[in-house]
Amino acid sequence: MGVLRVALDVPLPTLFDYLPGPGIEAAVGDRVVVPFGTGRRIGVVVEQAAESTLPRERLKPIEAVRDDAPRLDAQWLALMRFLAGYYQRPLGETVVAALPPRLRALRPLPSTADLVLRLSANAPSDLPRAPRQRALLDTLRAGPLAENALLTGEPQDRPKVRAALRRLIAAGWVEVTPEPPAANRVAGGTRFVAEHALNPDQSAACTDVRDTLGRYDAFLLHGITGSGKTEIYLNLIAELIRHGDQALVLVPEISLTPQLEARFRLAFPETTLAVMHSGLEQGARTAAWLAAARGEAAIVLGTRLAVLAPMPRLGLIVVDEEHDSSFKQQEGLRYSGRDAAVYRARLAGCPVVLGTATPALETWFNSEKGRYRRISLPARAAPGAVLPRVHTLDLAAEPLAHGIAERMLEAIDARLARGEQSLVFINRRGYAPVLACPACGWAAGCTRCTAHLVLHAADRSLRCHHCGAQEAIPRNCAVCGNVDLRALGRGTQRVEETLAARFPGARIARIDRDTARRREMLARTLDDIRRGGADILVGTQLLAKGHDFPGLTLVGVLNADAALLSTDYRAAERLFATLAQVAGRAGRRERPGEVMVQTRYPRHALFAALARHDYAGFAAAQLDERRQAGFPPYVSEAMLRAEAKRLEHAIAFLRYALEQAEAPDAVTIYDPVPQLITRRAGLERAKLLVQSDSRARLQAFLTTWTARLVAAPAALARRVRWHLDVDPIETD
């Protein structure tokens, strides 16, 4: 009888050996309950071995095998092994954290999760009037669902939804089957409703990718904003699911998914679509995961975590807006959802399509090297839609009103007169970023962070955007007592105020994280804007991505310069991407758009490239700088960060790490330094950078190094929290 090696969520880089236990048959991929220490834990069997290194009598038996979810397949386990290895985390932690929380719990799923509801043959074709019954039938029309997946509303509404469901079952319109549908077939239909006939560029792109279905290949779909990339994804997926395969579509932000999700549902009215993001209620999240793992969901649409869902017949992966930084997880397993997707495509033997108007420089570099095949869509797809005209306004030469160029205000006025929409983009929320004393130079700062407090006008508070601390606005200067404190700089609230004073009759909508705290609220506001419910939009990058506002013809950009002066070498890349994205919101229909960027550096090469819509030129110049300076993608990096109550403790740990490093020739380790924002939420932070021009050698080095760090003396380790960030996208 063999030994089962189980991955457990404990911070030890090892597997744990167990025996099968009487009457228990467990195999690789099973979720199992095992005794551990004085308690019990859930884990996943990842290996089977003939013998253990421990004597047999010390091995304990497995207590139970969970059969409430499908066995995890070999491809999924291989992905987990890759992620754990590449990002230097224990396999157990990686495997268990990749499961939805309910499948990590010791308690098995309630059996209702296994009850699958489906529309019966005698369901009426015209829907009943009762709104809840109507909504339920409408949802089930898309395909069978677990009960939990139907109970997604507010908790207090659930009894009523259950009652409505019972009435539908009693009427014989909905059937309950205890067994999940056979896992080898997609639930629902595969009917595809195309929005448009593809244009020649789109058709060519589709053909290129379609030819690779069934084997690994990686594509960069470089298409300008509005070039019809989404339409290409939909066409490819239509082809794929006709063969019974599954498609995985990753998107950056939760706020983006409602509109995209609606588009997918319209295109595939009968297909089971699983939506996955961290904002979902637990029941719905589990149901979506199960639908993917059982192969019922033909399409899985989600944020980066969806790349971790098992999909037995995965045939295509799309990463939309692949350049977006939200694909990188910033805690725990610090993985890149995009890079994981490419690796996963290799494992699955299927194509992966990375789509964007402004590729990450790493991705562009890979396409230049031929590792990714590049497909270009240089024109907008909608008839008559052209790219907006982009120009700069020289802050040194333009008359300003409250920090906004007069010419920009006049341009907004002209849009108001024509009944068109304007968007004023400023990447900073709140009223003003600094409250300062002009007499002595004091500025309100956060006591727990190395940061200024941001003035918020709505509730007259000072808030820290790093730790969330909040306090009342002081009456006078904390140092000299001066009562004449000044708000310096501007954020969205102040811009809104300025615009409201200047255009009293205009309807102004402000969109930032303060006004869009809840996902549904944001979705509703965006919908309202799309239907013309606002004349002027003021917003942060929440407004930059993916939205389609038909009436928008002017975009004004306010504080672009901060990024040009940044010490972060990625700042220019991000600014270009953000500006190209916001610019892409303008003139998406017949009426041409215009973009005005006010700046002190009107002749900066970045703006010139933006005005030419020349991503390739911009990327070439950036890559040249990166190559000369020895930055990624020409080198691979890892960042070791440590935080402690006292800075010297964080530094001491990093010094120890430096001493422990026996770096091979190809690996460079820099000295520990304090982070730029040294204190955050009361902790002092430091970092240490590791670079190499060989990814493989860096990996080998990190593996031995991490093992030593894990074993650091308790006296050092106790005082700090540390993590290793492989391929960091934050330079701090």
Binding site for Zn ion (CB under 5 A): 437, 439-440, 442, 446, 448-449, 464, 466-467, 469, 477, 479-480, 482
Could you tell which of ligand ADP, Zn ion, none binds residue 541, using a CB distance below 5 to 8 A set by kind?
none
Could you tell which of Zn ion, ligand ADP, none binds residue 464, using a CB distance below 5 to 8 A set by kind?
Zn ion
- By beta-carbon proximity to ligand ADP, the closer residue of 55 and 383 is 383
- By beta-carbon proximity to ligand ADP, the closer residue of 260 and 700 is 260
Q: Taking each helix axis from N to C terminus, what angle separates 131-140 and 158-170, rounded to the nearest 10 degrees? A: 70
Positions that interact with ligand ADP (CB under 6 A):
195-196, 198-199, 202, 223, 225-231, 381-382, 548
Strand partners for 669: 690
Cα separation of 82 and 84, whole Å?
6
CB neighbours of residue 504 within 10 Å: 7
Least distance in Å: CB of 86 to ligand ADP?
30
Least distance in Å: CB of 583 to ligand ADP?
13
Task: Give the count of alpha carbons within 13 A of 632, CB side only.
Answer: 24
Cα separation of 44 and 5, whole Å?
8
Question: Which DSSP string corresponds to 233-248?
Answer: HHHHHHHHHHTT-EEE
Cα separation of 80 and 82, whole Å?
5
Could you tell which of Zn ion, ligand ADP, none binds residue 446, using a CB distance below 5 to 8 A set by kind?
Zn ion
CB neighbours of residue 89 within 10 Å: 22
| CA-wise closest residue to 93 among 188, 37, 15, 10 | 10
**Are the C-beta atoms of 675 and 681 separated by less than 8 Å?**
no
Could you tell which of ligand ADP, Zn ion, none binds residue 223, using a CB distance below 5 to 8 A set by kind?
ligand ADP
Could you tell which of Zn ion, ligand ADP, none binds residue 195, using a CB distance below 5 to 8 A set by kind?
ligand ADP
350, 353, 359, 365 alpha-carbon torsion, rounded to 10° = 30
Least distance in Å: CB of 480 to ligand ADP?
54
Rounded (5°) CA angle 298-301-304: 130
Could you tell which of ligand ADP, Zn ion, none binds residue 198, using a CB distance below 5 to 8 A set by kind?
ligand ADP
**Are the C-beta atoms of 205 and 198 separated by less than 8 Å?**
no
Could you tell which of ligand ADP, Zn ion, none binds residue 482, using a CB distance below 5 to 8 A set by kind?
Zn ion
- By beta-carbon proximity to ligand ADP, the closer residue of 199 and 566 is 199
First to last CA, the chain: 52
Strand partners for 45: 6
Q: Which helix (H) or strand (E) holds 42?
A: strand 39-49
- By beta-carbon proximity to Zn ion, the closer residue of 630 and 682 is 682
- By beta-carbon proximity to Zn ion, the closer residue of 304 and 429 is 429
584, 588, 592, 593 alpha-carbon torsion, rounded to 10° = -30
- By beta-carbon proximity to ligand ADP, the closer residue of 283 and 587 is 587
Q: Three-class SS of residue 548? A: coil
- By beta-carbon proximity to ligand ADP, the closer residue of 382 and 414 is 382
- By beta-carbon proximity to ligand ADP, the closer residue of 14 and 203 is 203
CB neighbours of residue 468 within 10 Å: 11
Amino acid, single-letter form, for residue 454 = V
Could you tell which of Zn ion, ligand ADP, none binds residue 382, using a CB distance below 5 to 8 A set by kind?
ligand ADP
Least distance in Å: CB of 463 to Zn ion?
9
Least distance in Å: CB of 462 to Zn ion?
10
Least distance in Å: CB of 297 to ligand ADP?
22
Amino acid, single-letter form, for residue 50 = A
Cα separation of 235 and 206, whole Å?
7
- By beta-carbon proximity to ligand ADP, the closer residue of 227 and 675 is 227
Please give the sequence-ordered ranges of beta strands (E in DSSP) within 110-208, or none if there are none. 116-119, 145-146, 174-177
| CA-wise closest residue to 678 among 709, 719, 646, 726 | 646
Least distance in Å: CB of 443 to Zn ion?
9
Could you tell which of Zn ion, ligand ADP, none binds residue 70, using a CB distance below 5 to 8 A set by kind?
none
- By beta-carbon proximity to Zn ion, the closer residue of 260 and 439 is 439
Least distance in Å: CB of 81 to Zn ion?
39
Upstream peptide bond of 592 is cis (omega within 30 degrees of 0): no
- By beta-carbon proximity to ligand ADP, the closer residue of 312 and 550 is 550
Least distance in Å: CB of 477 to Zn ion?
3
**Are the C-beta atoms of 678 and 450 separated by less than 8 Å?**
yes
Least distance in Å: CB of 648 to Zn ion?
21
- By beta-carbon proximity to ligand ADP, the closer residue of 378 and 682 is 378
Cα separation of 415 and 409, whole Å?
10
- By beta-carbon proximity to Zn ion, the closer residue of 478 and 611 is 478
Least distance in Å: CB of 569 to ligand ADP?
28
Q: Which residues contact 506 (CB under 8 A, 6 or more apart)?
A: 416, 499, 500, 535, 536
DSSP 541: G
CB neighbours of residue 726 within 10 Å: 22
Least distance in Å: CB of 29 to ligand ADP?
37
| CA-wise closest residue to 655 among 633, 668, 640 | 640
Least distance in Å: CB of 13 to ligand ADP?
42
- By beta-carbon proximity to Zn ion, the closer residue of 222 and 466 is 466
Cα separation of 613 and 84, whole Å?
40
Strand partners for 393: 598
- By beta-carbon proximity to ligand ADP, the closer residue of 230 and 622 is 230
Could you tell which of Zn ion, ligand ADP, none binds residue 448, using a CB distance below 5 to 8 A set by kind?
Zn ion
Least distance in Å: CB of 429 to Zn ion?
15
Could you tell which of ligand ADP, Zn ion, none binds residue 202, using a CB distance below 5 to 8 A set by kind?
ligand ADP
Least distance in Å: CB of 269 to ligand ADP?
17
Question: Which DSSP string corresponds to 20-31?
Answer: --TT----TT-E
Q: Which residues contact 38 (CB under 8 A, 6 or more apart)?
A: none
